[in-house]
Structure 1
């Protein structure tokens, strides 16, 4: 299980995971980290079954459902080098 739920406002995101879900997320992040260490900027995609994938599950707590939270169906992870982060205005010292 790897389920991501966002509040209606988008201000808060909840991640629910079991061991397999944590391992899948860790693997995706580790792969990005290795690429960034080589100076490469890459991205990774995790999708729910509804969106053609199998990495994200579609589940949320009852209180999340009743408060209008929304299921996240696509998680896109980016790995940025410092140069690319700066170039795209993502680093703290960006203009």
Structure 2
């Protein structure tokens, strides 16, 4: 596992997402977002994954920082070239 702190946690109602990170974890996450934004700026459709150690990664911490919260083991982040997002790129049902 990484030595820094980065968690994505859902509250007990699962309607709020909390992100906890120390400076190193937040900077690492910011670099990932910058890379995705750069690729999307170039017209790409980038994505990346963050996993806890339990799910085979070392990107995310798996100890919740708030009582009653549940850590997410997998966070998938997409970049899109414009504000329409995924909508124009989804397969149309027949």
TM-score, normalised to structure 1's length?
0.79
1:87 is displaced (CA, Å) by 0.6
Alignment: residue pair count: 85
Whole-Å separation in 2 of the counterparts to 1:71 and 1:21? 15
1:71 is displaced (CA, Å) by 1.1
Q: Higher helix share goes to which structure?
A: 1
1:19 is displaced (CA, Å) by 1.1
The 4+ residue runs of structure 1 with deviation greater than 6 A are: none
Whole-Å separation in 2 of the counterparts to 1:16 and 1:59? 11
Pick which of 27-36 and 3-12 moved more: 3-12
Partner of residue 46, structure 2: 42
TM-score, normalised to structure 2's length?
0.80
Partner of residue 19, structure 1: 23
Cα pair 2:8 2:19 within 8 Å, conserved: yes
Partner of residue 92, structure 1: none
1:82 is displaced (CA, Å) by 2.0
Cα pair 2:42 2:81 within 8 Å, conserved: no
1:88 is displaced (CA, Å) by 4.6
Give me the CA root mean square deviation. 1.9
Partner of residue 72, structure 2: 72
Give secondary structure in 2 for the equivalent of 1:29: helix
Structure 1 gaps of 5+ residues are 90-95
1:10 is displaced (CA, Å) by 2.2
